[in-house]
């Protein structure tokens, strides 16, 4: 017979212990540019139990743009899903980024790393320190604006307790906002 205390169930030592594997909780915020996704991501970023990663696909997209390389949509999708999965599993060593941009992007947008003073580290093992900090959190959240199809996230649900927030904004103010910043219209 189990005893419940503080929403946790403990079992008597006479009962066989059941092993239930707990999946890591991953939250994916999917949106388009100028939709309020950075604001929503910042709310997650300041939650003490969440490790937040701002646009992990940025470096992947930039890598191919800088090299003027052609990449089919299916190849991009496969690379993007692998990168998202790595991020949600706290593997933060980005093969598509150089160290300074990776450090700047992750640290500039991660309240936990700033709080623990892990952003100013110039050590080669800084990424491993970030990964350890990430692994200690209950939840990892990522914000994406470079995902072609939200259905592509489905395979991640097999290894993670995946939660997807598809943020949609009225396109009229989104277009005005994009024009005001010089970004391409819809």
Q: Tell the residue number behind the tokens 């491993």, with chain if given.
A: 128
Question: Is residue 161 a part of any domain in this protein?
Answer: yes
Question: Is residue 1 a part of any domain in this protein?
Answer: no
Name the pairing type of β-strands 50-54 and 161-166: unpaired
Evaluate whether 62 touches 96 at the Cβ level (below 8 Å).
yes
- Residue 160: domain span: 21-181
Query: Would you say residue 2 has pLDDT above 80?
Result: no
Residues 8-43: tens digit of each pLDDT? 444 444 444 455 566 789 999 999 877 888 889 999
The phi, psi pair for 142, rounded to 5°, reads -125, 150
Question: Is residue 72 a part of any domain in this protein?
Answer: yes
Q: Domain containing 74 — which CATH number?
A: 3.40.50
Q: Say how many domains are in the chain.
A: 1
Query: Would you say residue 81 has pLDDT above 90?
Result: yes
Question: Is residue 7 a part of any domain in this protein?
Answer: no
List Cβ neighbours of 132 (8 Å cut-off, separation of 6 or more): none
Question: Is residue 124 a part of any domain in this protein?
Answer: yes
Cα distances from 140 to residues 2, 35, 101, 131, in angstroms, run 30, 21, 21, 11
Question: Is residue 54 a part of any domain in this protein?
Answer: yes
Average of pLDDT values for 103-120?
Answer: 78
Poorest-confidence range of 57-61, 90-94, 100-104, 130-134?
Answer: 100-104
CA–CA distance, 171 with 140 (Å, rounded to integer): 29
Question: Is residue 6 a part of any domain in this protein?
Answer: no
Average of pLDDT values for 111-119?
Answer: 84
Q: What is the dihedral of CA 30, 115, 138, 53, to 10 degrees?
A: 20
Residues 141-150: tens digit of each pLDDT? 999 987 888 9
Q: Can you list the alpha helix ranges (DSSP code H) found in the chain?
A: 37-45, 58-66, 73-88, 99-108, 111-115, 126-135, 171-181
Poorest-confidence range of 1-15, 29-43, 86-100, 122-136?
Answer: 1-15
Mean pLDDT of the chain: 79
Question: Is residue 52 a part of any domain in this protein?
Answer: yes
């Amino acid at each position: 017979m189990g005893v419940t205390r503080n929403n946790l169930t403990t079992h008597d030592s006479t009962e066989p212990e059941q092993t239930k594997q707990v999946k890591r909780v991953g939250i994916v915020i999917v949106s388009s540019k100028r939709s309020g996704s950075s604001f929503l991501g910042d709310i997650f970023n300041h939650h003490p139990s969440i490790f937040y990663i701002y646009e992990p696909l940025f470096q992947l997209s930039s890598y191919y743009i800088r090299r003027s390389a052609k990449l089919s949509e299916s190849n991009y999708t496969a690379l993007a899903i692998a990168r998202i999965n790595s991020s949600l599993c706290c593997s933060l060593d980005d093969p598509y980024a150089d160290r300074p941009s990776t450090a700047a992007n992750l640290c500039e947008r991660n309240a936990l790393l700033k709080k623990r003073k892990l952003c100013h580290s110039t050590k080669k093992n800084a990424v491993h320190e970030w990964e350890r900090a990430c692994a200690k959190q209950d939840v990892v959240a990522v914000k994406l604006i470079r995902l072609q199809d939200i259905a592509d996230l489905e395979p991640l649900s097999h290894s993670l307790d995946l939660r997807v927030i598809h943020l949609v904004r009225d396109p009229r103010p989104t277009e005005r906002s994009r024009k005001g910043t010089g970004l391409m219209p819809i």
